[in-house]
Amino acid sequence: MTPIRISSSPLREGRWYEYVIRFALGGTATVFTGLVSSRYGASMGGLFLALPAIFCASATLIEKHEIRRKREAALAGESRGRYAAALDAAGAALGAAGLLAFAVVFWSVVEESVPVAFMAASLVWLVVSVSAWYVRRKWRSARLARNAGSGTSISRSL
């Protein structure tokens, strides 16, 4: 298994305005959800708790950073940037499974105990997301190994 690691270089590469944009987007999304809830009710507002407004900014920034990094090395980075953004989207699809689990646990527990609901839902989000990522990684590795194996047998047969 590839270890999960921390790299501080993206923080050094980030521009100050990118952090301001994300802060503003996060604040705006939260205000927007509040406005929808007060105008159309709690149920409609709840729908927008999973609006991918922040994801749009994140994926765009990831692509931009990757392109910038490659350009600094005098390389065209468009493909690499797109690939990085696609990987981020694949991760978000798995994270969405965790978000669903978060919603289920929060909805089931909040009327019993508010602190337990927040803690249990957050923990479940983390466990489900990381497990989904791990299972997908294992499955992909197994598939790649199988394909490599069949490739070998084909080349042998050729």
Partner 1 sequence: MTEYVVRFLVGGIVVSAFAILGDVLRPKSFAGLFGAAPSVALATLGIAVYRHGAGYAATQGFAMMAGAIALSVYSVVVCHLIVRARLRAALATLLSLVIWLIVAFALWGLAGGRV
Site membership for partner 1, residue 81 (CB under 8 A): yes
Q: Are 108 and 120 in contact (CB under 8 A)?
A: no
Residue in 11, 148, 154, 158 binding partner 1, rule: CB under 8 A:
11
- DSSP letters for 87-152: HHHHHHHHHHHHHHHHHHHHHHHTTT-HHHHHHHHHHHHHHHHHHHHHHHHHHHHHHHHHHHHHHH
- Beta-carbon count within 10 A of 57 CB: 16
Binding of residue 120 to partner 1 (CB under 8 A): no
CB-nearer residue toward partner 1: 27 or 151: 27
Beta carbon of residue 38, minimum distance to partner 1 (angstroms, whole number): 9
Q: How far is the CB of 15 from partner 1 (least distance, A)?
A: 12
Q: CB of 153: closest distance to partner 1 in angstroms?
A: 28
77 binds partner 1 (CB under 8 A): no
The verdict on 129 binding partner 1 (CB under 8 A) reads: yes
Three-state secondary structure string covering 60-92 = HHHHHHHHHHHHHCCCCCHHHHHHHHHHHHHHH
Q: Which stretch binds partner 1 (CB under 8 A): 69-77, 120-128, 147-155?
A: 120-128
- Taking CB under 8 A as the criterion, which residues in 14-73 touch partner 1? 14, 19, 22-31, 33-35, 37, 40-56, 58-60, 62-63
**Cα–Cα distance for residue pair 80/66, rounded to 1 Å:** 7
116 or 145: whose CB is closer to partner 1?
Answer: 116
